[in-house]
A and B are shown apart, each in its own frame.
Chain A
Amino acid sequence: MKVALFIPCYIDQFYPKVGIATLELLEKLGCEVVFPENQTCCGQPMANSGYEHETEGCTSNFQNNFDEYEYIVAPSGSCTLHIKEHIPIKGKIYELTEFITDILKIETLEGSFPHKVGLHQSCHGLRGLFTAQMSELNAPQFSKPEQLLKNFKGIELIKLSRKDECCGFGGTFCVTEEAVSVRMGQDRVADHLKNGTEILTGGDTSCLMHLEGIIRREKHDIKVMHIAEILNQAIS
């Protein structure tokens, strides 16, 4: 299967390892992966700040780069959601874990990852893309990222006190509402600490960047990895 990779701008610049892991993982799962080289940003940060009308450039650049592909995959729930909702394209875009479970139809992955892993459900992945059941709804439980992680040898998936509370990143919210944003992040980190997380993971690099920023500042003993990095490492 041919897959076009969308690597959001800040991942390209600050977290190339997430992009690399995503690419390698998809290749290991049998995909032919291409990276359209003139891609930049989907425009989500501007649109969420009320400047959707300023994002035409980003939109058309995205279309120019991706219109020829049937499957587009991104290691970011929030960018995927933005593209789904705001950028008309011929093919379809998927967040990485939903692509693996829903399109590649992989029920579960074999591998080894002997660590205590705490999963951060990003809100846009969760409540926007339905990558897992939302805690507010009276509906059957499921979780695509958990489904992929849970059978690794030695892994322990940490149960959190609040399983899907927002981390407080929120795009430009992280600076315009700095006090609340940081406090929300601190509370998420505290939940992971309390319940024994060694490695904090998730499908959204932006949430992870925020949480990692707090963890490093407060010198907590938690490592942060994108779920693509864990999957890629565990199955090799």
Chain B
Amino acid sequence: MTTHSKSAEIFNRDFERTTWHDETLYFVRQKRDKAAFQIDDWELLRETASQIKFNVLSNLSEYLIQFEENALKNGIKVHWAADAREHNEIVFNIVSEYFEGNIPHDTFKGIVKSKSMLTEECHMNEYLISKGIEVVDTDLGERIVQLAGERPSHIVLPCIHWKKEEIGELFHKHLGTEKGNKDPKYLTEAARQHLRDKFLNRKVALTGVNFAVAVTGEFVVCTNEGNADMGTHLSDLHIASMGMEKIIPQRQHLSVFLRLLARSATGQPITTYSSHFRKPRDGQQMHVVIVDNGRSTQLGREDFRNSLKCIRCGACFNTCPVYRRSGGHSYHTAIAGPIGSILSPNLDMKANADLPFASTLCGSCSNVCPVKIDIHQQLYKWRQVLVKEGHTSATKTLMMKGMSKVLASPAVFKFSGKVGRMLMDKMPFMVNNSLNLWYKQREMPEPPKESFREWYKKNRK
């Protein structure tokens, strides 16, 4: 069994919970449909977004340089990180330098962080915490998984795998809320008070970047909770971590992406806060760390280049029938779901070789994707690459070779009869003699007396 299929099997042992997880996410997919179908030009909007991103990816280096120039003019400091390690070190250096000059007490040596999947990808929290810096996630869902010692299971809805009763328990333990109280309003208020205190006493804020506008040198951060704004407005130091593909050429392109992003993500017309950061306040420092971490390599892979168009809306997660029934953690990477399965093998083929196979190739993901990434085609292509690079089991390869031989040869294939059929040796889907795996929860087809070609010979020739 693969890593994904093992975790998925465990996930599925709880039938009711799997139902709940599936239905919760499918509900979000339906909200997306409703919002999307209210816009007559929805498909045109998707196509436009896809084309803008195509232009960006084709001219990425120029746009990045343009962005840097303009950001510098605005007084933003720009850093370049080749990989996750460099990103973490850069952030650490900026933060510790600031602390040395400004923070007298260790108690406040912390940062407030709004949602950033890039910092998850870089394992930044662990790194900074190991260096003695407190990191407080301020997105409610991220705070919940952080308190629980977990990682997000979804890029937009990080704690979607948590039920409200369980959150009540968690808050009781960590924030001292009443035992047994699971009222979302009450719990949210408790989290709000808890985070207020952090916001007021931390002078360093870290955010992600949803869009970086090349011609203006500004960046846009989208949240629903306003936590990015709360953090940055109260901070003296703002660091923004940005994947290098987040560039858009002009401000006007936001009119395409902002319309697509929230509708695809949650079915809202627009995120509650779409905040533009253009220059630091007086006395504030603002830094942008532009991160590669495998993106150049992916850009160089023609078949997989398009995956860099992703705006991290999560729609492909919500529609994915496999994701809904296996949970985000079964993907064992920062970015789960269909998009994670085409991004992760680029970072580590061996460790993530199972992910492109965790799909039926149904294609629903590609259809909801607001930037029209051909996700399921790329899953298919990754399978070919992974097999060729030797990342599948030797038994499977042997079976496949044997199967291909039998099926390619009319002489071998034709001779079968009822017994052969009973043994299912002409069933190309049964790799690894996995007959038992078919049979565990499903009946076999009843072998007929004669094959079609036997019937044909008797009746039509």
Q: Tell whether A175 pairs with B321 under 8 Å between CB atoms, given A50-B387, A166-B362.
A: no
Q: Mark B37-61, 1 if CB is under 8 A from A, else 0.
A: 1011011000000000000000000
- Report the minimal beta-carbon distance from B26 to chain A, rounded to whole angstroms: 7
Q: Tell whether A9 pairs with B357 under 8 Å between CB atoms, given A17-B448, A35-B453.
A: no
> Is B319's CB within 8 Å of the partner chain A?
yes
Q: What residues on A are CB-neighbors of B437 within 8 Å?
A: 175, 178
Q: Mark B381-406, 1 if CB is under 8 A from A, else 0.
A: 00110111000100011001101110
Q: What residues on B are CB-neighbors of A10 within 8 Å?
A: 426-429
Q: How far is the CA of A216 from the CA of B444 in the complex (A)?
A: 9
Q: Is the CB of A216 within 8 A of B443?
A: yes
- Report the minimal beta-carbon distance from A120 to chain B, rounded to whole angstroms: 12
What size tier do the contact residues of chain A reach? 35 or more
Q: What residues on A are CB-neighbors of B409 within 8 Å?
A: 40, 57, 61
What size tier do the contact residues of chain B reach? 35 or more
- Report the minimal beta-carbon distance from B94 to chain A, rounded to whole angstroms: 42
Q: Is the CB of A183 within 8 A of B12?
A: yes
Q: Is the CB of A58 within 8 A of B404?
A: yes
Tally of A-B residue pairs with Cβ under 8 A? 236
Q: What residues on A are CB-neighbors of B359 within 8 Å?
A: 170, 173
- In chain B between 327 and 370, which residues have their CB closer than 8 angstroms to a CB of chain A? 357-364, 366-368
Closest partner residue, chain A, to B13 (CB atom): A179
- Residues of A at the B interface (CB closer than 8 Å) are 7, 9-17, 19-20, 23, 35, 37-41, 43, 45-46, 48-58, 60-61, 123-124, 127-128, 134-139, 162, 165-166, 168-185, 187, 206, 209-210, 212-214, 216-217
- Residues of B at the A interface (CB closer than 8 Å) are 1-2, 4-5, 8-9, 11-12, 18, 22, 26, 33, 36-37, 39-40, 42-43, 319, 321-322, 325-326, 357-364, 366-368, 380, 383-384, 386-388, 392, 396-397, 400-401, 403-405, 407-410, 413, 416, 420-421, 426-432, 434, 437-438, 440-445, 447-448, 450-457, 460
Name 15 interchain pairs, CB-CB below 8 A, sorted by A.
A16-B454, A43-B404, A50-B387, A54-B400, A55-B408, A61-B408, A136-B319, A138-B43, A165-B321, A170-B361, A172-B429, A178-B440, A184-B322, A184-B325, A213-B444
